Amino acid sequence: MGRIREQYISTGKVRFVYKHFAILGPESNRAAEASECAAEQGQFWPFHDAVFADQNTTRSTLSQERLVELAGTLGLDTDAFAECLRSGRYTSFVTQQSLGIQSLGVRGTPAFLVNGVFISGAQPFEVFQQVIDEQLAQAGVEPPASVAEATATPTPVPPPTESAPPAGGQHSDE
């Protein structure tokens, strides 16, 4: 995502929207709901990333207890987070997003739609670049110059700051 963010999203040429596609059963649904609970505290993306990073550890479980523990490592109010998760207030939201994605014919993750063009699986930047540039051209928008072309000499750039996504909504990276 780094190069896509740098070349397209941060330039305002492309808007990135994340939707839940919880297809691996109850734990997958619980993790998606938990990310919405984290969003209430402005931590959707850090929590999302922590859950995915945790998959490869020996404590890899998406139990409510583990999700609350992960929330705590990010400094979230774990009481509010646990109450949110227990309440089930995002169950319908996650289910509806998953069904919507499934209705598009998507069967696995990661999956990407670029203006209706489906990209399946983890792909190199060049695959995204080609599809995005084609879609921008069709919309009459000039694709951005490549990062290499835009910068004559390397300049250190601070990492982007992420704004808090709205709770219970589509999470964009603008």
Mean pLDDT of the chain: 83
Specify the pTM: 0.73
Q: Using H for helix, E for strand and C for coil, what is the string for the chain?
A: CHHHHHHHHCCCCCCCEECCCCCCCHHHHHHHHHHHHHHCCCCHHHHHHHHHHHCCCCCCCCCHHHHHHHHHHCCCCHHHHHHHHHHCCCHHHHHHHHHHHHHCCCCCCCEEEECCEEEECCCCHHHHHHHHHHHHHHCCCCCCCCHHHHCCCCCCCCCCCCCCCCCCCCEECC
Q: Mean of the pLDDT values across residues 148-155?
A: 39
Choice among 82-86, 109-113, 130-134, 158-162 with the minimum mean pLDDT: 158-162
- At residue 173, the pLDDT reads 52
Over residues 91-113, the mean pLDDT reads 90
Contact partners, residue 139, CB within 8 Å, separation at least 6: 115
Proportion of the chain above pLDDT 90, given as a percent? 50
More confident residue, 161 or 25: 25
Q: Average pLDDT for residues 81-103, to the nearest whole number?
A: 95
pLDDT greater than 90 at residue 48: yes
What pLDDT does residue 145 have? 73
Range of lowest pLDDT (95-99, 139-143, 152-156): 152-156
The reported pLDDT for the residue numbered 107 is 85
Looking at residue 2, what is its pLDDT? 84
Whole-number pLDDT of residue 106: 87
Whether residue 75 has pLDDT greater than 70? yes
